[in-house]
Amino acid sequence: MNLIKARFLYFATLTLTLLLFASCDGDEEGANPGNTDDSIILGFSQIGAESAWRTYNSLSVKEAAEEAGIQLLFENAEQKQAKQIKAIRSFIVYQVDVIAFVPIVADGWDNVLTEAKDAGIPVLVTDRKINTADETLYAGFIGTDSIREGREAALFLQKKFASSERANPVRIVEISGTEGASCVIGRAEGFREIIESDGSFEIVYSFSGDFLKSKGYEIMHSILDKISDIDVLYSHNDGMTLGAIEAMKERGIRPGSDIVIVTIDAEQAAIDALRRGEVNCVIECNPRTGPVIMDLARKLAEGETIRRLIHVEEEVFTEWDDLDAIEPRGY
């Protein structure tokens, strides 16, 4: 949008927006009513702080905005889609230059994104994807390739259980993340694509732990009450894995030996568990997206088109690697 017009609207809507932001209880940054320069204003709706991964992802966005000289209006939705929609609406009223958001679930964004489109504000989707029949509602996506993450988890298990001495079938328990989130759908889909075509594996139980460590702990206890002979835990994030490991230890089960564990994110704590032999495979989900988001936001604010799909680089760490060579993670 024209920057002069944006600044005019910025002051014209100031009173209303101050009221709006006062009613939000997430943290806010960069709302600077005194700003008269031409810097870009980015409204960012984050989903919450459910994991160490998420906290680091928020930090990456905040640090990169500061570094790039972009004014950031940062809203934390505390795991509620309704709060994200409210935040996006407030960004539209505010006439920000660009909106970026992490969609907590894939469905249900068309109305608010149509409002953003009608207001002429480009939207960047990040980390998780959306389902929409109208691809013009957002400019592009930057984030993880969750189908690939699921495939990597399955490929590790195929190698791990390649020997003829394996249990047949290999019995897998899955603890997944927030229902309806694109990364959960992708991690389940990529995993099943390989596991189900193999024939030597069976998913005996699958339950959502909402990406929370406390739920990983509770679910693992309740699984162990119901099911014996578990060969594998496939967990959609490290937080839930660490909770599940605690539960296993309380039952006298040796994580990583009695039960093979594959986990996603690559937090420092999971890498430490891999080094201790309590986890067998860690698949990285890269949270360091802030700098690329700022670069894309600047391009969008200047009216450029951006690539529709950018998947970030991600590694896989296994028990067979040189574990001393893994760099400190930072999260």
Our finding on whether 285 is near ligand AHR (CB under 6 A) is yes
DSSP assignment letter at 136:
G
Nearer to ligand AHR, 40 or 125 (CB): 125
Our finding on whether 183 is near ligand AHR (CB under 6 A) is yes
Our finding on whether 51 is near ligand AHR (CB under 6 A) is yes
Binding ligand AHR (rule: CB under 6 A), the pick from 62, 83, 86, 128 is 128
Q: Which residues contact 43 (CB under 8 A, 6 or more apart)?
A: 73, 75, 87, 88, 90, 91, 94, 96, 98, 99, 100
Please count the CA atoms within 13 angstroms of the CA of 216 that sit on its side-chain side. Answer: 26
Residue that the structure tokens 């896989």 belong to: 316
Our finding on whether 174 is near ligand AHR (CB under 6 A) is no
Q: If binding means CB under 6 A, how many residues of this protein chain bind ligand AHR?
A: 12
Q: How far is the CB of 209 from ligand AHR (least distance, A)?
A: 11
Contact stretch for ligand AHR (CB under 6 A) within 32-40, 45-53, 191-199, 273-281: 45-53
Q: How far is the CB of 140 from ligand AHR (least distance, A)?
A: 17
Which of 283, 269, 211, 179 has the alpha carbon at shortest distance from 48?
211
Binding ligand AHR (rule: CB under 6 A), the pick from 91, 156, 211, 331 is 211
Four-CA torsion 148, 181, 207, 267, nearest 10 degrees = 60
Q: How far is the CB of 176 from ligand AHR (least distance, A)?
A: 11
> Within 56-115, which residues bind ligand AHR (CB under 6 A)?
none
Q: Which residues contact 191 (CB under 8 A, 6 or more apart)?
A: 150, 151, 153, 154, 174, 234
Our finding on whether 53 is near ligand AHR (CB under 6 A) is yes
DSSP class per residue in 272-326: HHHHHTS-SEEEE-----HHHHHHHHHHHHTT----SEEEPP--EEETTS-GGGS
Contact stretch for ligand AHR (CB under 6 A) within 47-55, 114-122, 130-138, 296-304: 47-55
Residue that the structure tokens 């495979």 belong to: 281
Q: CA–CA distance from 137 to each of 112, 114, 118, 134, 310 (Å)?
A: 9, 6, 10, 6, 17
Our finding on whether 237 is near ligand AHR (CB under 6 A) is yes
Nearer to ligand AHR, 47 or 223 (CB): 47
Q: How far is the CB of 3 from ligand AHR (least distance, A)?
A: 33
The full length of the chain comes to 331
58: Cα separation from own chain's centroid: 11
Contact stretch for ligand AHR (CB under 6 A) within 46-54, 85-93, 129-137, 221-229: 46-54
Binding ligand AHR (rule: CB under 6 A), the pick from 6, 45, 46, 50 is 50
Our finding on whether 331 is near ligand AHR (CB under 6 A) is no
Binding site for ligand AHR (CB under 6 A): 50-51, 53-54, 127-128, 183, 211, 237, 264-265, 285
